[in-house]
A and B are shown apart, each in its own frame.
Chain A
Amino acid sequence: MGMYSEEINNISNKSRETLFEFAEVDDRQAEETAYSNYSYWRSTWKSFLKNRIAVFLLVGVLIIVTFTILQPYLPAQKSPTEIYLDEQTGLQARNIAPSAEYWFGTNSIGQDLWSRIWAGTRTSLFIGCVVALVEAIVGITIGTLWGFSRKLELPITQLYNVVDNIPTTIVLILMSYILRPSISTIIIAMCITGWVEMARFIRNQIVILRDREYNLASKCLGTPDYRIILKNLLPYLISVIMLRMSLAIPFAIGSEVFLTYIGLGLPISEPSLGNLINEGRVLMMSPELRYQLIFPSIVLSIITIAFYIIGNSFADAADPKNHV
C-alpha cells in the first residue's frame, strides 16, 4: 500500500455539496474572456515607460526641442549672428570668457556663443529630422520593392552598387556649385546618398522574412502582393525600422559635423553644431579658449546620446515579444 492510501480511502471527506450543482452560464463573463483589449501602440508605450532612463531622456529632449524653438522669443536673448562691440573700447568683443553678460562667452569675432549654440542646435535638429524622415520613406519603399519583386531586383541592385560607390564629396561639391551652400542643399545631398543604407537594411530583412511559412500560406490563399507587404512583412519590421529612424537623427547630425569638417558644410553665417565645433577646433591649442569647443560638444553629445538611447529602448518596447 502506498503513502496515499489513507487519503484515497477518505476521499469522500473532501466532497462538497456545491461540486454537484450545475454551473450557470453567464453571457457577460463569457464575452470578456473572448475579448482582449490588447492594443499594439498602447502596450509599446507601456513597456517604454518602464525604462526610467529612456523616459527621463525623452523628457529632456522634449525640453531641449521646446527651448530651441522658444529661445529667440525669450527676453534678454542676444542675436546669434550679430557681432557685439565692447562698450569701453568700441572694438569687437572677441573671445570673452563665459560671464554674466555672455553666458557661454563670445567667439573669435565677438558673437554670443549661448545664442549661437541654440540656433545651431535648431539647425542641426531640423536637418536631422528631415533627413531621417526622407531616408525612412524612400529607403523603406525601395528596400521593400528590392527585396520582394523579382523584376526590380537586378536593376535596383545595379543602382545600389552605382550610388553606393559614387563619392558623396563629388555629389556635394556639384550640388553646392549648382545650388549654393545652404540648409536645403545639405539636406538634399544627404538624402540623395543616405537612403541606400536604409534600403539595403530593409531589403535584407525582407529577404529573410519573405520565404517564411506564413507568407507561403498567404500566397497560397491568393493574397495580393501589396497586402503581403503591408500586412505581413512591414508590421514585422516596425521595431527595427523605428530603431533605424531614431538613429538616423544622431547620424545625420554627425555627418553634418563631418561635412563641415572637410569644408563642405553650411556657410559660416548659418550657425550649426558642425560649424560651432569646427570654429572651436581651430582654437584648440590655446587652453583658455577651449570653452568654445567644449560647450557645443557637450550640447551635441547630450542630444545624440539621448536620441540613441531613446531609439534603442523604443525599439525594444515596439517588439511584441517584450509586451507580456
Chain B
Amino acid sequence: MMGSIQDKDLKVVSIDEGDTEIEQSGSPLVFLKKEDEVMLGYIGKRLLQSVLTLFIIITIVFSLLRLMPEEGYLGAAADKMSPAQQEIYLTNLGLRDPLLVQLGNFYTNLFQGDLGKSVTYRTDVPVVTIIADKIMYSLLFGLGAVALSLIVGVPLGILMAQMKGRWLDRLGTGYIVIVVAVPAAVYYLVIQMYITEILHLPMLFDEYQPITWILPLTSMALAPTASYAMWMRRYMVDELNKDYIKLAKAKGVKERTLMFKHVLRNAFIPMAQYLPATILFTITGSIYIESLYSIPGMGGLLVDAIQRQDNTIVQGLVLVFSSLGIIGLILGDIAMALVDPRIKLGKGESVR
C-alpha cells in the first residue's frame, strides 16, 4: 500500500480495463442522459467481468490448496492415527473426491450462501461466524487509521508545500523518508518497546481500556500519513506553478479560497479513485499491528488458516478479499468520474 499513492495521481486511470480515457466533453449538460446510460452500461459490463475474474481466482486458489501436503490436514493427530483412520478422515473432508467434484460441491454450496465450516482453525464453527467475530476490530482500527492519516497527512503536505525548503518541510521530509524506507516491523517494534515504557502504557490491547487503543491506531496511521503528505506536497508544488493559479493570485483571489476551491478540489480527483479501495481494504487488517498488540482482528487470520490448511476459511477469505479489491477498483473509477467531469468511462478514441 505504501508508495502506491505516488503513482496513482494519474488523470487517466483504468486499472481494470483499457477503455477509460480522458476526453474534453463538449457540452455535458445536453448529453447528460445519454452519458448516464453509457455509464450504467459500462458499470454493468465491469461487474459482469468481475464475476468472471472472481470465478477464475477462486478456482485457481481452490486447486492450489488441493496441492498442499496431506499430512497438514491431520496436524498433531497424525501420529496417533492408523493409515486406515487417516484415510477415513481425509475422505470425510471430501479430499478423496476428484478435483472437479470438489469444485462442484463448493460452488453449489456457495450459491446457497454457505461458505462451509472451519476444519482445523476452530473445528466445526461456520466460516462466516469466524470472520464476523473478527471483522469489527480490523474495520474500526482501519477506518480510524484512514481518518487519522487523512486529517494529519493532507494538512501536513499543504504546510510542507507552503514552507518549501524551510525547517517544517525538512522535518516532514525526514519523517516521510524514515517511514517509507524503513520496514514497518522495525519502527512498530521500536514504538511498542519504548513508547509504552516512557508513557507507562500497557503493552497489549485491551478492549475495555481506551488508552490502549491509541498506540496501535497511531502506528497504523504512520505509513498512510506519510504517503498522503508526500503526495499532497508534490501535487501542491506542481500545481502552484500552473498558470490558472498564477492568474487567480494576480487577480487577487484570497489564499484560502485558492487553496480550498482550486487546488484541493483538483487534488481530490486522484484521491477519489483510491479512497474506496483503501477503505474497503481496512477489513483485511494489519498483520504486524494485530499480532504485536494482540488484537483479535483479521490480520493474521489468512496466514494462520493457510498454515493450518483450513481450506474452507482460506477459500472464504480469498472470496471476500478479492471481491473487495475488485469492487474497490470499480467504485474508485466511478467516484473519479463523478468528481471530475472531464473523465468519461466507456470506449474512447486513441491513437495506437
Interface on A for B, CB 8 Å cutoff? 148, 150, 153-154, 157-158, 160-162, 164-167, 169-171, 173-174, 177, 197, 200-201, 204, 207-208, 210-211, 215-216, 219, 240, 247, 250-251, 253-254, 257-258, 261-264, 277, 281, 284, 290, 293, 297, 300-301, 304-305, 307-309
Contact = CB atoms under 8 A, between A and B. Distances in A.
B303 A262 contact: yes
A200 to B, nearest CB: 6
B31 to A, nearest CB: 22
B13 interface: yes
A248 to B, nearest CB: 10
B103 interface: no
B69 A177 contact: yes
Given A167-B321, A308-B177, A219 B3 contact: no
B300 interface: yes
A173 to B, nearest CB: 6
Given A157-B17, A170-B314, A293-B189, A177 B10 contact: no
B142 to A, nearest CB: 18
B189 A169 contact: no
Contacts of B199: none
Nearest to B17: A157
Contact of A262 (B3, B16, B300): B300
Contacts of A162: 53, 56-57, 60
A218 to B, nearest CB: 9
A165 B7 contact: no
B252 interface: no
A294 B65 CA distance: 38
Contact of B57 (A166, A204, A210): A166
Q: Which 3 A-B pairs have the closest CB atoms?
A: A254-B183, A308-B181, A165-B322
B17 A247 contact: no
Contacts, number: 144
B100 interface: no
Given A162-B53, A284-B193, 17 more contacts: A150-B352, A154-B18, A157-B18, A158-B53, A161-B57, A165-B325, A170-B314, A204-B15, A211-B352, A247-B3, A251-B3, A254-B184, A277-B185, A281-B185, A284-B192, A301-B182, A305-B178
10 contacts: A150-B352, A154-B18, A165-B321, A166-B318, A169-B303, A254-B182, A254-B185, A261-B185, A308-B180, A308-B181
A262 B3 CA distance: 22
A204 B13 contact: yes
Contacts of A247: 3
B351 A216 contact: yes
Interface in B174-212: 177-178, 180-186, 189-190, 192-193
A191 B56 CA distance: 21
Nearest to A260: B185
B84 interface: no
A200 B17 CA distance: 12
Contacts of B177: 305, 308-309
Contacts of B219: none
Contacts of B306: 167, 169-170, 173
Contacts of A301: 178, 181-182, 186
A160 B13 CA distance: 15
Which label, helix, strand, loop or mixed, suits the secondary structure of the B interface? helix
B7 A300 contact: no
Given A167-B318, A304-B183, A210 B351 contact: yes
Interface residues of B, number: 53
Given A162-B56, A211-B350, A304 B182 contact: yes
Nearest to A220: B351
Contact of B189 (A158, A164, A297): A297
B184 to A, nearest CB: 7
Nearest to B292: A281
A148 B15 contact: no
Nearest to A207: B12
Contacts of A167: 61, 302, 306, 314, 317-318, 321
B186 A200 contact: no
Interface string B1-45: 001100100111111111001000000000000000000000000
B247 interface: no
Contacts of B60: 162, 166
A307 to B, nearest CB: 7
Contacts of A211: 21, 350-352
Interface string B55-66: 011001100110
Contacts of A153: 18
Contact of B181 (A257, A262, A263, A307): A307
A245 to B, nearest CB: 13
Contacts of B186: 257, 277, 297, 300-301
